[in-house]
Homo-oligomer: A and B are copies of this chain.
């Protein structure tokens, strides 16, 4: 086996070289905002929806949610909620009134307007892996803390692949950047290496305000233009069970006031930080998420808010989190039913527990992604590059996931089930009859170039053909493709004035010391 693998590695180098000579490394469909034509998979009857809603409301009314932020508590008390220390009790009438202000659809426009995205309706958007502290690649063969160079590589991948629609949190944490100025260099890299809708972390006042300011400058917008519609988003996680912490609530309210988009994703692991039953865990996640959305709507009615599901289960033997399980899939679909009940756009994830980009990684990720599609999700976070329950980002996994994403996006194409006369192909069958084949006939010639999804990292050659090219397994081919994309990559253009303003701001804020690190 070792000899075989040495051979594979050598051939990997050759294949990489060959790939670089070609016109394009990856065969891609053009950028588009995918539309999911399928009716969602809905396991629960209407009574189930109402039972979960009632439970979530009872949690908000009777158990309450801790808001570890005095300003948020003051605002919610002013709004008429009962506040006892840090515990806020919200009546269902208040919650439902606040939710009535939240738009069911909205648009986010990044610095490149061609990459504008619509959130809600039947649209589905996919984003890169976000926030792993560690990096792994096949050449390195081990797990190390993320560096700025890895961080930038993932941004390049996120920009390169048309199946990626938004840039989530740091695709890997650049821990070689000092925490006080990390957000400045990291957002700078994000805004110069990509031009898709960006995320900024709600981790204290300076980080979120700097993030908003940098997005504004990179797009050359006035403050009024910036506030007029969302150009970016943040994502907060509640601290389950039933707590929102200080810096996230601070960033949440600041983003709302400046008209940017919000996602709240309770990390409700059934059996650990949430009830062991999936519907119980979903009810808790709704209580946590809806309470944050109610706050945002009170602060600024009409703020675009997305409910994020991150409900999964643990291994009850070890307590280890699991992803892409049957329980995860059904929780995602159930959450989809609840989001439609509340009229809120939804976020889910492409997650797995696997430690390396192997078979398990792909069945778990496929399960997660398809559950997202079936649930009627609008934003799929972590859709490319995630390993080890979110603790590792891997470029090979990123390339492999993008192959799956591009298939999912092609799967949405209504031409696949169109039944115009030419599609039904009666004349083609009458021409070929019981003999011969369809390769050469005009009906095929007219359509073959666009008839089928085109593979990139997939290998469809037979065993002998594959072996002759080095017999590389998928992760090895993905590594070669990753390296080739890095060589080919060109950053998207930015007007000089915007770049100058962005650079000046970044340098100035770094000189000022950035953000406190003791929050």
Contact = CB atoms under 8 A, between A and B. Distances in A.
Interface of A: 1-2, 4-6, 9, 37-39, 41-44, 47-48, 51-52, 55, 58-59, 62-66, 87, 134, 136, 138, 141, 143, 241-243, 270-281, 283-284, 313-316, 318-322, 325-327, 329-330, 334, 353-367, 370, 388-389, 391-392, 400, 403-404, 407-408, 410-411, 413-414, 416-419, 422-426, 428-430, 432-439, 443-444, 447-449, 451-453, 455, 457-463, 466-467, 471, 473-475, 478
A447 to B, nearest CB: 5
Contact of A278 (B325, B408, B417): B417
Nearest to A278: B416
Contact of A359 (B326, B400, B453): B400
Top 9 closest pairs, chain A to chain B, by CB: A280-B425, A275-B425, A359-B474, A326-B411, A366-B366, A51-B419, A362-B362, A43-B417, A326-B410
B458 A416 contact: no
A280 B423 contact: yes
Contacts of A55: 424-426
Given A277-B451, A319-B439, A326-B411, 11 more contacts: A39-B39, A271-B452, A276-B425, A284-B429, A318-B460, A318-B461, A330-B417, A355-B462, A360-B458, A361-B474, A363-B403
A202 to B, nearest CB: 20
B439 A271 contact: yes
Contacts of A391: 462-463
Given A66-B434, A318-B461, A463-B392, A451 B359 contact: no
A38 B47 contact: no
Contacts of A463: 134, 136, 143, 355, 388, 391-392
Nearest to A473: B358
Contacts of A327: 416, 451-453
A402 B66 CA distance: 44
Contacts of A436: 241
B355 A451 contact: no
Contact of A430 (B63, B271, B360, B403): B63
B138 A1 contact: yes
Contacts of A242: 429, 433-434
A325 to B, nearest CB: 5
